[in-house]
A = this chain, B = another copy of it.
């Protein structure tokens, strides 16, 4: 069986939980408590020298890191519900929209980045919230028209795929930072279509055993 090392509120862990659900693959979930700094302990650093979650461990002990790389592995290994189409241009567009979230929003508000702002620039709670909200809004402002002009139920797809796996955790995170999602009707419509599906329901942060 696969083992997923993650954290309930980590958006990268959330992505992999959705991906596992869409592929119908069971995994043992082990919590790494980011709030207590377990990610910087020796045990976790042997799994991922970056000290980040998630890590997916295969039955032979191989440990995979980086949520998008784990999603790529799952898609290459399990045919059901393909995360990517075959057409090269459509693939590229889906990957681009996904990276707008996974490269240009999420890493900039990683816990380690926010801690640096507090430590080195004496950022207070309001400044940290404004910082996160700024990068989320900047990314969503660019994504909204792209998704709005799309005629399919999901972004360039008739089923939830690579982009939706990135989008839903980012929207969860956006709400935490006070973003008004009514500004993004097309993104919200895709979200509504996803949230009724079992794979997305099971993956929600509040449904994880380590949630508090």
A interface residue numbers (CB < 8 A to B) = 48-50, 52, 58, 62, 64-66, 68-70, 72-73, 76-77, 88-89, 91-93, 95-96, 99-100, 102-104, 106-108, 110, 112-113, 116-117, 120-121, 123, 127, 130-131, 134, 138-139, 141-142, 145-146
Q: In the assembly, how many copies of this chain are there?
A: 2
- Decide: A50 near B138, CB < 8 A? Known: A107-B108, A123-B121: yes
- Decide: A116 near B131, CB < 8 A? Known: A49-B141, A103-B103, A107-B103: yes
What is the distance, in angstroms, from A157's C-beta to the closest C-beta of chain B?
15
- The secondary structure that dominates the A interface is helix
A53 to B123, CA, bound (A): 30
- B66 x A95 contact (CB < 8 A): yes
- A65 x B96 contact (CB < 8 A): yes
> Which of B77, B92, B107 meets A69, CB within 8 Å?
B92
